[in-house]
Structure 1
Amino acid sequence: MTQSRNLITDVAGLRIGNAQDAGLGSGVTVALFDEPAVTSVFAMGGAPATRETDLLDPDKMVPAIHGVVLSGGSAFGLDASSGVQACLREQGIGFAVRDALVPLVSQASIFDLVNGGDKDWGRYPPYRELGYEAARQAGPDFALGTAGGGYGATTANLKGGLGSASALTSSGHTVGALVVVNSIASAVIGDGPHFWAGALEEGREFGGHGHPARVGPDHRRLVWKGGPQPATTIALVATDAVLTKAQAKRLAVASHAGLARGLRFSHALFDGDTIFAAATGRRPLGDEAAEFTELTALAADCLSRAIARGVYEATALPYPGAQPAWRDRFALA
């Protein structure tokens, strides 16, 4: 059963902020932790764009980090973390090294450079300022769809976007997912309106269409963005459980099942599919093996649902020839 917001912020100890630029056709989403969170990451796509991910390996010294950034802009968008660091440093937040404070912020970016927005930004891209603004606005409630890091996102056939979902385990732990859906492939079965994640839907969180009576060969026909165009679905899954860094790594690995169930298809050569997993450490695990296994299963489910919500909530970009949104085609279906 999902909690009241049905957002990743149902997990105690984190806040989300969005900032976007309509002319640019891109944006930034930031997750900030109230206290440093044990975090790891796993990338299965063939073309990831990331920053500060090596420090998240279980064998690395840093025990926890202060935030995660999901942005547009491809490699240019990795500047967003600098803006987030600036915002955190102003608040006296960072990893202490003698008299220095270094905010630890990890990031992944999507490729949204050919979506119709004006990318002629001059010498330096605008993502640092967008990152700062997203961090400044971080709170428990945030917009989905064409917002933040999902502003310029697209899929093979419908506008992509920012999605989120949450769930409660049988032992009382909260788990949630936040995703920027910019897939090379499709989140809907055939031409829609049904989502691949339809069997996992809670209530009518993405339209209540379920699955078609039969998924035939035509529904399974592969479609993807034309030409060698990179495309990435990037995500953060989070829980209030107390986890080790190795368990956070395993949670990130297991959550990739959510991409495989929410999209047809994922982890391709031109994908940068990357998932962060964070533990805010509010509730210890009891029966560790059983409760952790349930966490991994529900995190993947939340990610599939969040993918569908990101597409369901999206609106078309304000440019000629922009990709249609799910609501443009199926709102009355």
Structure 2
Amino acid sequence: MRQTGPLNLITDVPGLRVGNAEDHPGMTGVTVLVPDEPATASVAVLGGSPGTRETDLLSPEQTVPTVDALVLAGGSAYGLEAAAGVTAGLVARGSGFKVGGALVPIVPAAILFDLTVGDKPWSLPGADGPEPPHRRLGRAAFEAALARGDRRFTIGAAGAGLGGTAARGRGGLGSASTVLSDGTIVGALVAVNALGSVTIGDSDHYWAAPFEIGDEFGGRGWPSPMPRDAVDLVTKRGGLPVANTTIAIVATDATLDKAEAKRMASAAHDGIAHAVWPAHTPFDGDLVFGLSTGRRPLGEDAMMELCAAAAATLARAIARGVHIARTRGTDD
């Protein structure tokens, strides 16, 4: 029987913390994942319009072996500054890659486009007022991650998903976890701002329904009969090119090297395809980070189950975050 971790959050993976910070008038926010110790990570990008910082160094052939934090942010290109706030927090904590006498925290980041919702005067032509808030929000989300002793965090209309949208409604911040047959834990964290739809046709049933555990996103199952418009290409009305993205982190306590972390991230993209239709379009910046805390050995022939669980867990996280954002606002 499939089962979730105790929180059904990515922080069920031992050694991970997550914090959120929001600018509610601007309808934008930041979500930061902080491992207790530097963690192995890689990335897979399948969308046509990604926005990233320090992702090249996550390729398996590159030198830097671990990361100190990962950042998901709203704000389009402005949101990349959130990583600078996290970097400052890590230096103050004495964390980072040692280069001579200096510390250089490794903080890869990905962003989504939420500039068309909320009050964002700093993004308007000729703006000469307040600075974009994302550097401040990055530091605040980092501090929030460290402050939560129970490792819970808010999902739904929160963090990087605060201003997210999708076809037929709002997006959101989602998370889920799965315990594998050998006790390995896989978790997913996602900010949904997709061009496509997470629901099937003109219904309130989720594409991710076959992967649902319990009633974590309503327990509605498949619609019966299937709507005639189920596979019509319904996207955001008036959607702008390069204005959409689903950005995610999948993590495990199994010991992976960078190549294996990239394989897990690549497989997890199937979770986006299972939960969003259409996905990976030229106008989405779909991206998945893969992260390993390395706290337990990877069992023999376990990589296939791990990759399948990464996809299923990410699909559930997408539907769960959107469902909570649309029905309750937030869940903490």
Q: TM-score range by the shorter chain?
A: over 0.9
Q: Does 1:54 align with 2:42?
A: no
Q: Distance in 1 between matches of 2:130 and 2:154?
A: 30
Contact 1:110 1:233 in 2 (8 A): yes
Q: Distance in 2 between matches of 1:158 and 1:82?
A: 31
Q: Distance in 2 between matches of 1:14 and 1:68?
A: 11
Q: Distance in 1 between matches of 2:121 and 2:217?
A: 32
Q: Does 1:26 align with 2:38?
A: no
Q: Distance in 2 between matches of 1:34 and 1:168?
A: 20
Match of 2:240 in 1: 228
Q: Distance in 1 between matches of 2:239 and 2:248?
A: 25
Q: Distance in 2 between matches of 1:285 and 1:3?
A: 18
> Pick from 150, 167, 172: which aligns with 2:161?
150
Q: Encode CA deviations 1:67-112: one digit per residue, 9 max, x unaligned.
A: 1000000111000000000011100000011211111000000000
Q: Encode CA deviations 1:200-240: one digit per residue, 9 max, x unaligned.
A: 11111011101112324312221112243420000000000
Q: Does 1:183 align with 2:185?
A: no
SS state of the match for residue 218, structure 1? coil
Report 1:21-100 matches (<5 A).
21-100=23-102
Deviation at 1:193, TM superposition (A): 1.1
Match of 2:118 in 1: 116
Match of 1:331 in 2: none
Q: Distance in 1 between matches of 2:65 and 2:12?
A: 23
Q: Does 1:159 align with 2:161?
A: no
Deviation at 1:157, TM superposition (A): 1.1
SS state of the match for residue 256, structure 2? coil
Match of 2:296 in 1: 283
> Pick from 181, 199, 211: which aligns with 1:200?
211
Q: Distance in 2 between matches of 1:75 and 1:144?
A: 23
Contact 1:7 1:164 in 2 (8 A): yes
Q: Distance in 1 between matches of 2:8 and 2:299?
A: 25
Q: Distance in 2 between matches of 1:220 and 1:61?
A: 43
Q: Distance in 2 between matches of 1:303 and 1:40?
A: 16
SS state of the match for residue 19, structure 2? strand
Q: Does 1:309 align with 2:311?
A: no
Deviation at 1:309, TM superposition (A): 0.7
Of the structure 1 ranges 199-208 and 127-136, higher mean CA displacement relative to structure 2 is found in 199-208
Deviation at 1:123, TM superposition (A): 6.0
Match of 2:270 in 1: 257
Deviation at 1:299, TM superposition (A): 0.6
The letter of the residue matching 1:279 is S
The letter of the residue matching 1:86 is A
Deviation at 1:326, TM superposition (A): 4.7
Deviation at 1:13, TM superposition (A): 1.1
The letter of the residue matching 2:138 is G
Q: Distance in 2 between matches of 1:87 and 1:3?
A: 29
Q: Does 1:244 align with 2:251?
A: no
Q: Distance in 1 between matches of 2:106 and 2:39?
A: 10
Contact 2:25 2:118 in 1 (8 A): no
Contact 1:193 1:326 in 2 (8 A): no
Match of 2:126 in 1: none
Q: Distance in 2 between matches of 1:242 and 1:67?
A: 18
Contact 1:159 1:326 in 2 (8 A): no
Match of 2:138 in 1: 131
Q: Distance in 2 between matches of 1:111 and 1:264?
A: 19
SS state of the match for residue 162, structure 1? strand
Stretches of structure 1 that go unaligned for 5 or more consecutive residues are 315-324, 329-333
Q: Distance in 2 between matches of 1:104 and 1:171?
A: 31
Q: Distance in 2 between matches of 1:179 and 1:203?
A: 20
> Pick from 274, 296, 316: which aligns with 2:287?
274
Q: Distance in 2 between matches of 1:82 and 1:38?
A: 20
Contact 1:113 1:119 in 2 (8 A): no
TM-score by length of 1: 0.92
Contact 2:113 2:244 in 1 (8 A): yes
The letter of the residue matching 1:149 is A
Stretches of structure 2 that go unaligned for 5 or more consecutive residues are 124-128
SS state of the match for residue 35, structure 1? coil
The runs of 4+ residues in structure 1 deviating greater than 6 Å are: none
Q: Distance in 2 between matches of 1:285 and 1:110?
A: 33
Deviation at 1:3, TM superposition (A): 1.3
Q: 1:49 to 1:298 in 2, by over 3 A?
A: same
Residue correspondences, number: 316
Q: Percent identity?
A: 52
Q: Encode CA deviations 1:169-195: one digit per residue, 9 max, x unaligned.
A: 111100000000100011011122110
